[in-house]
């Protein structure tokens, strides 16, 4: 199965080349994180994808954490203040 579409950004293709066996959920999370996002933004972006498998908010965050452990996603070093007043890390695909 192709990991990135011909129309995807180069960073998506680069990330796809480094992955041997990845779930569809992780595949779509990687696509969402080509642009740096917080987990809140990641969940919102993921839910807007029409072909992505259904996943709960906690499931999306868990898969993102797995991608961090696998070295495919990393924190940018930035933190942003959420409407709740809490701070959230910003994540993106590792290049």
Q: Is residue 1 a part of any domain in this protein?
A: no
The model's confidence at residue 11, banded by pLDDT at 50, 70 and 90, is confident
Q: Is residue 25 a part of any domain in this protein?
A: yes
The helix or strand, by DSSP H or E, that contains position 75, with its residue range, turns out to be strand 73-81
Q: Is residue 4 a part of any domain in this protein?
A: no
Domain count, the chain: 1
**Tokens at 88, concatenated:** 């959230």
Domain residues for 15?
10-93
- The region, left, alpha or beta by phi > 0 then psi within -120 to 50, assigned to residue 34 is alpha
Q: Is residue 54 a part of any domain in this protein?
A: yes
Q: Is residue 14 a part of any domain in this protein?
A: yes
Can you give the CATH number for the domain in which 51 is found?
A: 1.10.10.10
pTM, rounded to two decimals? 0.77
Per-residue burial over 14-51, b if 16 or more Cβ lie within 10 Å, else e, is ebbeeeeebeebbbbbbbbbbeebbbbbbbebbeeeee
pLDDT at 1: 45
Task: State the average pLDDT over residues 9-30.
Answer: 77
Q: pLDDT (tens digit, 9 = 90+) per residue, 42-94? A: 999 999 999 999 999 999 999 999 999 999 999 999 999 999 999 999 999 99
Q: Is residue 22 a part of any domain in this protein?
A: yes
Distance CA 70, CA 81 (A): 27
Q: Is residue 20 a part of any domain in this protein?
A: yes
Q: Is residue 51 a part of any domain in this protein?
A: yes
């Amino acid at each position: 199965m192709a990991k990135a579409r011909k129309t995807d950004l180069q960073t998506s293709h680069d990330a796809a080349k480094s992955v041997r066996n990845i779930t569809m959920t992780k595949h779509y999370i990687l696509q969402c994180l080509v642009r740096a996002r917080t987990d809140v933004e990641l969940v919102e972006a993921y839910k807007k994808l029409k072909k992505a498998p259904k996943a709960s908010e906690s499931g999306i965050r868990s898969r993102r954490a797995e991608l961090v452990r696998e070295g495919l996603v990393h924190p940018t070093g930035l933190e942003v203040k959420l409407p709740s007043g809490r701070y959230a890390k910003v994540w993106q695909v590792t290049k």
